[in-house]
């Protein structure tokens, strides 16, 4: 049997990346300046919902990178308000506002430059009211407002993961393709999992391991995550994401 050499494996990886890049350029390319940024019609309209609302979203990122990663954000509406406040992190916000943290009134469920958002968790009413002050405090205490690293973090996924870990009402788990979610700090190596039912170890987001009753098991190597969910059962894979039964 012929043994595949390391250089052959490297060429296979390069070819796969090149194929995805050219496919996207030929069939999916959209100018970011004209890409869809309208509401996806997922969030309750403030004019129709008087109660407090908290929603966590992700969307595949712009262009070919969307095969490998997502961008997350959290949208909040206080009780009686006529608008949502959106919390997210972007590199360009650092240049325009002096901080990576975007915390402004905005549409809660915008398309992310042509990519439709996916709702991960929604709180309405009393739970949302309890969560909002904690979200605001977690945003205020985010330690990397002056730093953005696309890989392995801190980035937009690191920011939302930070909020989830500090707000008990948010029990959602970011998908395995949320590169940067496992970055927990330059000097921190252990943290609770998103659900609070387990723990994760992370070495600068480059090498990570997590296990929890609700989170399952996940191993991260250079930002690529593999794992399983206990219940409902599912596989977690790079590029593809989660394959299996939907979480309740």
Q: In the chain, which residues have pLDDT < 50?
A: 1-4
Neighbours of 221 (CB within 10 A): 12
What 3-state DSSP class applies to 108?
coil
- The pLDDT value given to residue 232: 86
- The pLDDT value given to residue 4: 46
Pick from 17, 196, 37: which is nearest to 110 by CA?
A: 37
| Cβ-proximal residues to 116 (8 Å cutoff; 6+ apart), any chain | 40, 59
Task: Note the pLDDT tens digit of each residue in 42-93.
Answer: 999 999 999 999 999 999 998 767 777 999 999 999 999 999 999 999 999 9
Tokens 């948010």 found at: 170
- Using CA of residue 74, residue 147, residue 205, residue 203, what is the dihedral sign? negative
Q: Domain locations in the chain?
A: 36-244
- The pLDDT value given to residue 23: 56
Joined together, the tokens standing for residue 150 give 């696309």
| Cβ-proximal residues to 10 (8 Å cutoff; 6+ apart), any chain | none
């Amino acid at each position: 049997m012929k043994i595949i050499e390391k250089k052959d494996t490297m060429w296979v990886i390069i070819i796969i990346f090149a194929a995805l890049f050219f496919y996207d350029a030929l069939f999916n390319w959209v100018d970011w300046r004209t890409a869809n940024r309208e509401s996806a019609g997922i969030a309750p309209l403030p004019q129709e919902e008087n109660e407090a609302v908290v929603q966590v979203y992700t969307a595949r990122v712009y262009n070919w990178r969307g095969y490998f990663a997502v961008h997350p954000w959290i949208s909040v509406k206080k009780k009686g308000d006529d608008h949502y406040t959106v919390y997210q992190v972007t590199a360009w916000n650092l240049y325009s506002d002096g901080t990576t943290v975007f915390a402004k009134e905005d549409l809660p469920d915008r398309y992310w430059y042509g990519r439709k958002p996916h709702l991960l968790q929604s709180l309405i009413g009393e739970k949302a009211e309890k969560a909002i002050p904690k979200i605001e405090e977690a945003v205020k205490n985010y330690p990397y407002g002056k730093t953005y690293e696309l890989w392995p973090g801190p980035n937009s996924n690191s920011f939302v993961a930070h909020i989830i870990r500090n707000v008990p009402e948010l029990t959602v788990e970011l998908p395995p393709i949320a590169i940067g979610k496992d970055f927990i700090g330059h000097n921190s190596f252990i943290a609770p999992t998103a659900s609070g039912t387990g723990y994760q170890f992370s070495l600068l987001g480059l090498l990570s391991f997590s296990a929890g009753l609700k989170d399952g098991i996940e191993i991260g190597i250079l930002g690529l995550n593999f794992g399983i969910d206990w219940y409902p059962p599912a596989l977690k894979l790079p590029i593809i994401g989660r394959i299996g039964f939907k979480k309740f």
